[in-house]
Amino acid sequence: MRASMPFRYGAQRSTFTLLLLLSTAIMLIGKADPTLYERTRMAVTDLTVPVLGFMSQPVVAASQLMGDIRNAATVYQDNVALREENERLHRWRAVAQGLESENARLRQMLNFAPEAPATYISGRVIGDSGGAFLRSVLLNIGAREGVRKGAAAVDDRGLIGRIAEVGEWSSRVLLVTDLNSRIPVFVGENRQRAIMAGDNTDMPYLAHLPAEISIVAGDLVITSGHGGAFPAGLPVGIVVRGDGELRVQPFLSAGRLEFVRLMDFGLTGVIQDQTLGVAESRTGR
């Protein structure tokens, strides 16, 4: 080992010198003949690519294996969550079936007359009245699609109005905030009866309330179904206080209306053909 030390040091110095000279020669060739240099470099690259590809296969395989393991873990967790959700749904289904059976027996005992099934038609809002004395929107569906006057108009939040005019190809929805809108409603958990009346502001007022009431801000307002103009149970808005009186903040957002669903229960109740005068006095609430 000691005898070979000088030869090893000499070989290392010679290798460094050889590599330095080779690098210098490659640089000179590249300057003298760029085409030859480029071909040589690409030839070397072509030779090394298969080797690099072969050497990288274990790394790629390991990466894919780790990805498969992670995916398997995710699938397992999703499967567990879906099984739990399915079990909950089965329990709810059993409860719903029991309630449905009980409800059917109670209806039979009370000789309850069920409501007629509703028909549904959806349309797009294509116009807005935009006036100070009219709160309505125009739909792109009319009598040809089966639209009837008086049908309740709802969106994804609740009641927005009723069909007031029907043409062959279009119809007009009178919004709950319009001056001519009068809707029988229930207010709060005690289901206090009242009339929600529009006055062309963004918040209709509650009329015909008894002297002693237990209504507070935040109470839910739903249709009562009285008068036969609207089906019962449609959400309308919540109670707020303003100008010393109880008003309703409707779920309606006229500026964001795009699609409207019409619910026709075949009701033929109190639906006035004539409109009330805009100058109607509010002293008779």
Q: Where are the domains of the chain?
A: 33-114, 119-271
Pick 119-271's CATH classification: 3.50.50.60, 2.40.10.340, 2.60.40.10, 3.40.50.960: 2.40.10.340
Q: For residue 222, give every residue at least 6 positions away whose Cβ sits within 8 Å of its Cβ, in sequence order, or none.
A: 185, 186, 232, 233, 234, 235, 236
The pLDDT score that the predictor gives to residue 90 is 76
pLDDT digits over 11-21, tens only? 666 777 777 77
The pLDDT score that the predictor gives to residue 86 is 83
pLDDT digits over 180-204, tens only? 899 999 998 888 899 999 988 889 9
Please give the Cα distance from 78 to 66 (Å, whole number).
Answer: 18
Average pLDDT over residues 86-114: 74
Average pLDDT over residues 31-36: 70
pLDDT of residue 169 exceeding 80: yes
pLDDT band at 231 (very low <50, low <70, confident <90, very high): confident
Question: Helix (H, G, I), strand (E, B), or coil: what is residue 244?
Answer: coil
pLDDT band at 115 (very low <50, low <70, confident <90, very high): low
